[in-house]
Amino acid sequence: MIATLILALLAAPQAAAPAPKSVYPDRAQRQDIGARVVLLCQADYDTLVIDQCVVERENPAGYGFGEAALKLAATFKLDKGATPRDGVRKGPRRIPVSFNPSKE
């Protein structure tokens, strides 16, 4: 099972990166279920820090994908040289996280 991070709202478009399989919720893994989570985080383009994330949306709910996305959020960081599309260097940003089942 793979989770992908889509950080297009934070910086220049980048390829989505696979996340560790260990964060994929067990029940969803057994049932081969994927999900989409949207986190609302604080981003600071001067320090490159992304923190204070909370789950804004989780679909489907009840499988633990929100909690898994928050575990991943602890590793989020803006790329050096990233610039915000809206010009605001510090403030809230939505980060979509997709969990996609894979046949491995």
Name the residue range of residue 58's domain: 2-100
Q: What pLDDT, in 10s, does the model give residues 4-50? A: 544 434 443 333 455 567 799 999 989 999 999 999 999 999 999 99
At 8 the pLDDT is: 39
How many domains is the chain built from? Answer: 1
Q: Is the pLDDT of residue 76 over 50?
A: yes
Q: What is the pTM of this model?
A: 0.79
CATH of the domain at 75: 3.30.2420.10
Rounded mean pLDDT of the chain? 83
At 39 the pLDDT is: 96
At 15 the pLDDT is: 36
Q: Is the pLDDT of residue 67 over 60?
A: yes
DSSP the chain: -EEEE--TTTSS----EEPPGGGS-HHHHHHT--EEEEEEEEEETTTTEEEEEEEEEEESTTSSHHHHHHHHHTT-BPPTT---TTS-SEEEEEEEEEEE----
